[in-house]
Amino acid sequence: MQYAVNADEMKRYDRNTIEFFGMPQAVLMERAALSCTDYVEKWCLDKNIKKPRALVLAGCGNNGGDGVAIGRILKQHGFTVSLSIIGDYTKCTDALLNQLKIAGKYGIPQRPFLKIKEERDVRDFDVIVDAMLGIGCTRPVTGTYAEAIDFIADCKKAKDEDLLVLSVDMPTGINTRDGSICQKAVKADVTITFDFMKTGLIMYPGAEYAGEVLIRDVGITADSMLDKKPGAFFYDEPATTLLPKRDSDGNKGSFGKILIIAGSDKISGACLLSAEAALRSGAGMVKIFTPIQNSEVLRTKLPEAMLECYEYSDDPDNLKIISDTLKSAFEWATCVVMGPGLGLGDTAYHIVKEVLGQCDKKLIIDADALTLIAESEKLQRLVRDYRGKYIIMTPHLGEFARLSGKKVSECKNNILTMPKEMADKFGCTIICKDARSIVADCGQSRIYINVSGNSGMATAGSGDILAGILAAVSAYDLGGFKTASIGAYIHGLAGDLAKNELGEYSMIAGDLLPALPKIFQQ
């Protein structure tokens, strides 16, 4: 597990390190600079550049101080260094002014950026160090900053892989809080950030602009949090380390009895994908509650699953049979998945109503069930009043927008905050599925940001597999929030394995299934 911090959090931890623990700021700055120059020198060595030329573009804050220190060390190590301060010189921080004083004594002249732009060809540099704004960018980038970003882009276009663009802590123009672009931004080859991952480096589009992200230790540790931990975290370790060890003397009932309520008279694939995902993720037993039309394909494709079939009809007598059958199934199950391929008609509505009103087990709600809930105040009340152990709802952005009554664009722009609001509204755990899925829980301030996965998973049926994985993980009794976070992570890891074998363009949801056993072997 790693923390993902925003600008305010990082500034507080930096200040605590200096003021509370007494670590000199100059020491932190020197360590930051050394971590960057080490990377730059290795890159130039790999490229066999004999007399490397570096341009350092430094802002007026402490990020600029890091940049000046980088330029000074590179000069000491034989680089030809051009240095320019971007912004209002009268607003330079004391730390930056001190670094400029030191650099001047080492014979590193400062040049106005416009002079560099006029006099130097875009092919004149081997390395450009972006140390203009760091984590402090929140407003649209304009003026000289914007011109500098354009100049970096022109240089990169001219030299491509023969130019290294290194951003210090954050690419200039990327908002540290959410990864949004402040009008325009540096597109780095590598971003070296310090001590903790920044939220803006893992959220899109910031993640694309950051290039390769490397975290380097400069001396700001968890001690500097002083009991005020960041509000976001992510997993990056093997999935098996997140799960309790399987009980050696357990039986099939010990590892979860999953009831999957899925499929309609026209859709069979959704319940098949969910059921196999649950079994491949460690579930002991799976029972599929589905229309009788799906029985043949399910018996053929997944004989390991049990079947409970019903007539897909809204005839009152048939609905009564459905209710009675469900009641018996609830007694058997330890976890229920509801929604994949269920349909949106009266029969599906009746099933959703019965589950929310009569079930008292762990509940995963996905797909069509979410749409039905979004369209019904009665079903929403039943969600809020649910008497089971927990509910995990797994809306993609479109479903999330319908549930919240907002536009998709608004939900996407506020994906770090709105899932928490929805979790509190419904009293449940929310997985808002996007390029970076966000997990939020009722009554908790922290969120989980899922960094596994790729665009190849944006395909029909992928969410059905996630629902099955969540049901399997629920057997470990980790609570809704942790179950949702680990399940989303496993789902993404399976997608990454499938991508490595097939590529993002050719992946289908079913390709995640053979990847799941490999995840649990790591």
Give the dihedral of Cα atoms 500, 504, 508, 513; nearest 10 deg.
Answer: 30
**Amino acid letter, residue 37:** T
Q: Is the dihedral of CA 422, 428, 433, 436 positive or negative?
A: positive
Q: Which fold has domain 2-234?
A: Rossmann fold (3.40.50)
State the pLDDT at residue 457.
97
Q: How confident is the model at residue 120 (pLDDT cuts 50, 70, 90)?
A: confident
Tokens of 23: 């670590």
**DSSP-assigned states of every residue in 446-489:** -EEE-----GGG-STTHHHHHHHHHHHHGGG---HHHHHHHHHH
pLDDT at 247 over 90: no
The domain limits of the chain are 2-234, 255-519
CA–CA dist 41, 380 (Å, integer): 59
pLDDT at 16 over 80: yes
CA–CA dist 39, 286 (Å, integer): 51
What pTM did the predictor assign?
Answer: 0.95
Q: What angle, 0 to 180 degrees and rounded to 10, lies between the N-to-C axes of helices 269-280 and 462-473?
A: 40
What are the tens digits of pLDDT across the range 194-227?
999 999 999 999 999 999 999 999 999 999 999 8
Q: Which fold has domain 255-519?
A: UDP-N-acetylmuramoyl-L-alanine:D-glutamate ligase (3.40.1190)
Tokens of 305: 């699953």
Neighbouring C-beta atoms of residue 49, cutoff 10 Å: 15
**Quick check: bond before 205 cis, omega within 30?**
yes
Q: How confident is the model at residue 254 (pLDDT cuts 50, 70, 90)?
A: confident
Tokens of 455: 């665009």
Q: How confident is the model at residue 28 (pLDDT cuts 50, 70, 90)?
A: very high
What are the tens digits of pLDDT across the range 35-64?
999 999 999 999 999 999 999 999 999 999
**Beta carbons of 493 and 396 less than 8 angstroms apart:** no
pLDDT at 518 over 80: yes
Which alpha helices (H) appear in 130-289, and where do they start and end?
143-159, 199-202, 206-210, 269-280
**Beta carbons of 225 and 256 less than 8 angstroms apart:** no
Q: How confident is the model at residue 121 (pLDDT cuts 50, 70, 90)?
A: confident
Which of 467, 468, 395 is CA-nearest to residue 434? 395
State the pLDDT at residue 235.
98
**Beta carbons of 369 and 380 less than 8 angstroms apart:** no
Q: How far is CA 38 from CA 32, 45, 152, 335, 502, in A?
A: 10, 11, 21, 52, 36
CA–CA dist 486, 488 (Å, integer): 5
**Beta carbons of 214 and 198 less than 8 angstroms apart:** no
State the pLDDT at residue 122.
86
Name every residue whose Cβ is closer than 8 Å to that of residue 363 and which is 6 or more positions away in sequence: 335, 336, 338, 355, 386, 388, 390, 391, 392
pLDDT at 250 over 80: no
CA–CA dist 75, 83 (Å, integer): 11
Q: How confident is the model at residue 18 (pLDDT cuts 50, 70, 90)?
A: very high
Judged by DSSP in three states, 188 sits in coil
What are the tens digits of pLDDT across the range 53-96?
999 999 999 999 999 999 999 999 999 999 999 999 889 999 99
Q: Which helix (H) or strand (E) holds 91?
A: none
